[in-house]
Structures are given as C-alpha cells and as structure tokens.
Structure 1
Amino acid sequence: MISWVAPLLLLAAGPTGQAPAQVTSRSPIDRDAAAAVAVVRRYRALLAGHDEARAQRLWEPQARVAPRERRLTRFGAFTVGTPSRVEPGAGQRYVTVPIIVKSKLRDGTATRRGAVVLHRVAAEIDGATPAQKRWRIREVRIGD
C-alpha cells in the first residue's frame, strides 16, 4: 500500500522530457485550448490555496472525481502540460490537458502522468447558457 506524506512541486516536463510548449497562437482553436488550460491552472492554484470549495465549482455538476485522483491533485502539486487540440462533437467541445503529479512517499518519490479532460457546449449553440459555454472539468485520470 502506498502511503502519502507530502507532494513536491514538479519541474515542467513534456512527453519528450522537454518543457511543455506555451499555448500561444492566433487561431481560435488554440485560444480556446488556452482558455481550458487556464481553468486547469486556476484549479491547481485553488487547491494549493486549500480552497477546495471554489476548486470544486470548476467541475461539471454531474462530474465525479475518484478518491485516488482527488488525493493526488488536492495538494495543487501538479504540472500542467500542452493541451490537445479542441475536439468538436455534436455541439460539444472537449480538450485534454496533460498533467504530471509528483508526490513524496514514505518510501521515496513517485511521479504519475495523467490528464484533465474539460468540456463545454459550443459557443454557437442556441439556448446554451453562459455557464454551459465555459470550460468545466469533466474528468481527472492519473496513471500508475
């Protein structure tokens, strides 16, 4: 059984070991992905500030986080990587933002790669509320 002592702040590293690229582009899709990344960073900052109530409001109302993922991310000690491109689907938008969590265990340090999946309703959908058009966290997945 793994026993968690305290998280460490992880240096940013992408899948190739290099620092994640900044999300900077003039295309609307890249700006849209950048907005999703901003939600993940805000989530991390709120958790780091022990403001779990406000952090929870960044989640979709029906979304649930597994206890293991909650434990790994609640300290705010995860690095945010470069997002996927925004995926369209029947009036919906999805984007996946990779994260790296590094925690200090009693028996050493563990690094886990994961992803935050965000969702929103497409801006052009009639009748969608402003809240539905904002990026919300749908799921956090963290591997072993």
Structure 2
Amino acid sequence: MILMTSRSIPNQAQALHLGAAMVLLCPACSPRQPSDEVDIADAAQAARDAIGNHRDTSSSAPQAPVQSSPARPQSPAGSAVRTDPLPPPGPAGRGAALPDDEDRKSAATTLRGYFRLIGERRYKEAWDLWDRDGAASGMSREAFAQSFAKYRSFEAEIGSPGRVDAGAGQRYVTFPVTAAGTLHDGSPFTMAGPVTLHRTGPIDGATERQRSWRIHESGLRPRPARSDTADQIFVRYRCENGTEFAARFDNRTNTAVISLPSISVQLEGQPVGSGIHYAGHGYDLRGKGDRATFSRPRFAPTECRALS
C-alpha cells in the first residue's frame, strides 16, 4: 500500500496522478512472483476513486491566486521582435533647421554656383539664383544678362562668411567677395564688396525654393585694378607704316604723353564708351586692348599694336 499526504508533494493533483500511474505500472515493471499478481482492473478503479475523493475535498478549500505573466504580443511571421526602446525621431526632413556650420556651407555652395554661371556666361540661370524669383537683382532677366555682356572673363573669390542671422523665421548670411577679370577691350577690372544670401527657415507653408539660399543683395563695387604703376601705365607701340612710339597714360590727370623720336606731345582724354581715346595738337590715339589707331599731322592714320 502506498501512503501519500498533501504535504509530501506540493501539487496534490500531480501526486494523485503519479500514484495512479505507479499502481498501474509498477506491477508490470517489477519481477513478478506467483503470489504477487494484481488485478489491473481493480487497481485502475482504486485510482479513479482516489482522484474523485481528492476533488470532493479540494473543491471546498480556498484556492491560492495564480499569478500569470502578461501575454506577449505575437509578431508577424518571419519578423524579429525588438525589445530595446526605439530611438526618438530625428528632425523633420526638408523643414528641419540646419546647424550653423552646415547652413553656411550650403550658402557658400549656392554663391560659388552663382559666380560659376557668370563665368560661363549663363547669365539667365544666374539671375534665377536671385531672391524673390530674380526680382531682388533689380533687373529683368534680359537686362541682367546685358549688364555682363562687357566682360570677357569673370572670376570671383569668396571669403569666410559671418554668422547666420536668424529672426522672424528668416536666415541671412554675408560673404566678402572679390571679383576680377578682363573686359572685351582687354582692360582688367577688379570689384570687391559683400554679398548677402537669404532663405526662409523651417516654417509652415514655406516652399522648397524659399527654404533654399538665394542672392539677396550684392555690394560688389569697381575698384582700381592692381598693378605696379596704378597711376601711370607705360606702353610701347609698333605701327604698320614702321612708326614706333611710347605712350605714358596718367590715370590721375586723364592724359597720355606720346613720345616719338623727334617730339613728345601730351594728349587729353576724350569721352569714349569703351577702350581709349586721346587727342590734341593734331595727334589722335584711340583703340581697345592691345590694338590702336594713331594719327598725326602730315601722316595718314596707321594701325598699331602694343608690344608685350
């Protein structure tokens, strides 16, 4: 006979089931003796009676509450369940505020692209980079292109920008710029001044174009071209009729002194749209770049060229 108490195994139901199994199985697994034969039907009935008695006595006893873990949500087939917290969302894409350094780099890229278009004579595309759909340039697209027609070459050097000024949802940054090159008549030019760019900040309703940097204002102003003799320039000419002479151009007095083998004469500067024109005492010198036409008393006009 097998004695089982409620204290021997924590779970009484499990104990009864185990006891019944032992009653059924042990006779079969132990060495059988003729005197130890067991009626299996009687043993099974005894096990059922024991289980029934347990249910009758346990139904009236208070049951301890069973704590269960909350059910874990099932993930879709083939996917992994992420247990670590998700990172907070980053700044919104196109409307996000850029760090100051990145904002300045973006403005510098726009400004370099603007002057590159000027140097490539793509003036109408450069006009499109002005603020307020080009209106900030103060000119129409056609007039803007015409204003650059006098340049043979145009290059710009961009300095370090100041800080990005922000207020009322707007952004401004200013760059020092120096531009240099040559006119179509070969004359050099230099300009310098500040160029300010503008864009709209990350505010509702702003278009992609408004959030992009555009030319807001240009303070580029002509200044004298740098040379070893800024006030006076010396040029020697050789003409087709064999004449050679030297010319000293004085920018302070707007005069030119022509020196021939037998005479020197001072000529006065004359109004001219482009190039040079000096005249006086029957002498005349006019031209563009390294070519000029020279006239003097008793001689026919002749074409001349500056010697390098």
Q: Give TM class, smaller chain.
A: 0.5 to 0.7
> Partners in 2 of 1:54 and 1:112 — Cα distance?
22
Q: Which residue number corresponds to residue 64 of structure 1?
A: 137
The 8 Å contact of residues 65 and 139 in structure 1, kept in 2 or not, is answered as no
Are the structure 2 counterparts of residues 40 and 65 from structure 1 closer, same or farther at C-alpha, using a change threshold of 3 Å? farther
Q: Which residue of 1 aligns with 2:112?
A: 41
1:116 is aligned to 2:198:
no
Q: CA deviation at 1:98?
A: 1.1
1:31 alignment partner AA: E
Structure 1 runs (4+) deviating above 6 angstroms are none
- Mapped contact 2:127–2:137 kept (Cα < 8 A): no
Question: Matched residue of 1:77: which SS?
Answer: strand
Correspondences of 1:71-110 after superposition (within 5 Å)? 71=148, 75-104=153-182, 109-110=188-189
Instruction: Tell me if the contact between 2:199 and 2:214 (Cα under 8 Å) persists in the aligned partners.
Output: yes
For the Cα contact (< 8 Å) 1:65–1:140, is it kept in 2? no
Cα deviation digits, residues 2-49 of structure 1 (max 9, x gap): xxxxxxxxxxxxxxxxxxxxxxxxx81011011001011001111111
Higher relative contact order (CA 8 A, sep 6+): 1
1:52–1:35 CA distance, 2 compared to 1 (3 A): same
CA drift of 1:110 comes to 4.7
Contact 1:46 1:76 in 2 (8 A): no
* 1:52–1:104 distance in 2 versus 1, CA, 3 Å: closer
- Alpha-carbon distance, 1:103 to partner: 3.9
How many angstroms apart in 2 are the aligned matches of 1:76 and 1:43? 12
Give the percent of matched residue pairs that are identical in Structure 1 and Structure 2.
37
What is the TM-score normalised by the length of structure 1? 0.68
Cα 1:97–1:57 shift into 2, 3 Å: same
**Match of residue 32 from structure 1:** 103
Task: Let me know the Cα RMSD of the aligned residues.
Answer: 2.7
Say yes or no: does 1:139 pair with 2:217.
yes
Number of aligned positions between the proteins: 115
What CA deviation, in whole Å up to 9, does each residue of 1:46-78 have, x standing for no partner? 1111111111111112302578xx54xx75411
> What does residue 72 of structure 2 align with?
none
- Structure 1 gaps of 5+ residues are 1-26
Q: Which has the larger radius of gyration?
A: 2
TM-score by length of 2: 0.33
